[in-house]
Chain A
Amino acid sequence: MIVYALRRLLGLLPLLVVVLFLAFVFMRTAPGGPFDSERNLSPQIEEALRARYHLDEPVLKQFARYLGDLAHGDLGPSFRYRNRSVGEIIRETAPISLALGLLSIAFALVFGIAAGVVSAARANTGWDHLAMGAAMAGICIPNFVLGPLLVLVFALVLRILPPAGWGSPAHLILPAITLGALRAASIARLTRGSLLEALGEDAIRTARAKGLSERVVVLRHALKLAILPVVSYLGPATAATLSGSVVVERIFLVPGLGTFFVQSALNRDYTVAMGTVLFYSTLLMLLNLAVDLAYRTLDPRVELQ
Chain B
Amino acid sequence: MRDRAFLPFVLFLVLIAVPVTLALTQSHEPRADFVFDVNSEPETIDPAFLTGQPDLRVALAIFEGLLTRDPKTLAPRPGIADRWAVSDDGLTTTFHLRPARWSNGDPVRASDFAFAWERVLTPANAAPNAEMLYPIAGASAFHKGESQDFAQVGVAAPDDSTLRVTLARPTPYFLDLCAGSAFLPVNPRAVHAHGDDWIRPEHLVVNGPFAIVDWKLRRRIRLRRNPDYWDAAHVHLATADAIFTEQASTAFNLYATGSTDWLDSSGIPPMIRDIVVKRPDCHRSPYLNTYFYRVNVTRPGLSDSRVRQALALAIDKQAIVEHITRSGQIPADHFVPPGLPGYTSPPGPAHDPERARALLAAAGYNGGSGFPPIELFFNTSDEHRPIAEVVQQQWKDVLGIRCELRNQEWKVFLASTRALDYDISRASWIGDYLDPSSFLDIFRAGHANNRTGWADPEYDRILDQAAAERDPDARAALYARAEALLTSEGPIIPIYFYVTLNCYDGSRFAGCEPNLLNLLQLKYVRRAESEVAAAR
Contact = CB atoms under 8 A, between A and B. Distances in A.
Most chain B beta-carbon contacts within 10 A, residue among A30, A38, A43, A168: A38
Contact of A166 (B25, B128, B144, B427): B25
A84 interface: yes
B196 A163 contact: no
A151 interface: yes
Interface in B388-445: 409-416, 418, 427-429
B535 interface: no
Contacts of B429: 38-39
Contacts of A228: 1, 5-6
Nearest to A35: B128
Contacts of A40: 418, 448-449, 451
A148 B27 CA distance: 25
Contact of A253 (B1, B49, B250): B250
A84 B415 contact: no
A167 B25 contact: yes
A291 to B, nearest CB: 12
B139 to A, nearest CB: 13
Given A151-B253, A250-B250, A103 B18 contact: yes
Nearest to A36: B414
A106 B256 CA distance: 31
A284 interface: no
A255 B20 contact: no
Given A83-B44, A83-B197, A250-B246, A99 B448 contact: no
A33 interface: yes
A75 interface: no
A55 to B, nearest CB: 12
B44 A44 contact: no
Contacts of B427: 38
Contacts of B410: 32, 266
A122 to B, nearest CB: 21
Nearest to B125: A48
Contact of A45 (B9, B20, B128): B128
Prevailing SS type, chain A contact patch: helix
B409 A266 contact: yes
A159 B418 CA distance: 48
Contacts of A56: none
Interface string B225-250: 00000000000000000000111011
B13 A105 contact: yes
Interface in B4-34: 5-6, 9-10, 13-14, 16-18, 20-22, 24-27, 29
B415 A250 contact: no
Most chain B beta-carbon contacts within 10 A, residue among A32, A89, A110: A32
Interface string A206-221: 0000000000000000
B257 A31 contact: no
Contact of B5 (A39, A96, A231): A231
A227 B254 contact: no
Nearest to B45: A83
Contact of A168 (B27, B44, B130, B256): B27
A255 B25 contact: no
A232 B131 CA distance: 61
Nearest to A238: B13
Contacts of B451: 40
Most chain B beta-carbon contacts within 10 A, residue among A43, A84, A99: A99
Interface string B202-220: 0000000000000011110
A48 to B, nearest CB: 4
Nearest to A294: B9
Contacts of A44: 123, 144
B124 A251 contact: no
Contacts of B17: 99, 102-103, 105-106
B318 interface: no
B21 A172 contact: yes
Contacts of B21: 99-100, 102-103, 172
B345 to A, nearest CB: 21
A242 B49 CA distance: 35
B43 interface: yes
Contact of B130 (A33, A45, A105): A45
A225 interface: yes
A132 interface: no
B253 A156 contact: yes
A65 to B, nearest CB: 19
A204 interface: no
B358 interface: no
B444 to A, nearest CB: 12
A124 interface: no
A82 B25 contact: no
Contacts of A134: none
Nearest to B196: A83
Given A82-B196, A109-B13, A109-B14, A41 B218 contact: no
Contacts of A39: 51, 429, 448-449
Most chain A beta-carbon contacts within 10 A, residue among B9, B10, B217, B448: B217
A189 interface: no
A83 B427 CA distance: 29
Contacts of B9: 231, 234
22 contacts: A30-B412, A33-B411, A37-B414, A38-B414, A80-B43, A81-B43, A81-B44, A93-B217, A100-B21, A102-B13, A103-B21, A110-B10, A155-B257, A163-B250, A163-B257, A167-B27, A168-B27, A227-B6, A228-B5, A250-B246, A253-B246, A298-B2
Interface of B: 1-3, 5-6, 9-10, 13-14, 16-18, 20-22, 24-27, 29, 41, 43-44, 46, 49, 51, 123-128, 130-131, 144, 196-197, 199-200, 216-219, 245-247, 249-250, 253-254, 256-257, 259, 409-416, 418, 427-429, 448-449, 451
Given A44-B144, A49-B126, A103-B18, 19 more contacts: A38-B414, A39-B448, A41-B126, A42-B130, A48-B125, A52-B124, A52-B126, A82-B44, A83-B196, A89-B217, A165-B254, A166-B219, A172-B25, A224-B1, A227-B5, A231-B6, A253-B245, A253-B254, A255-B217
The 9 closest A-B pairs by CB, nearest first: A32-B411, A255-B218, A102-B17, A48-B126, A227-B6, A163-B253, A82-B44, A32-B415, A40-B448
Interface of A: 30-33, 36-46, 48-49, 52, 80-84, 89, 92-93, 95-96, 99-100, 102-103, 105-106, 109-110, 113, 148, 151, 155-156, 159, 162-169, 171-172, 223-225, 227-228, 230-231, 234, 250-253, 255-256, 259, 266-268, 297-300
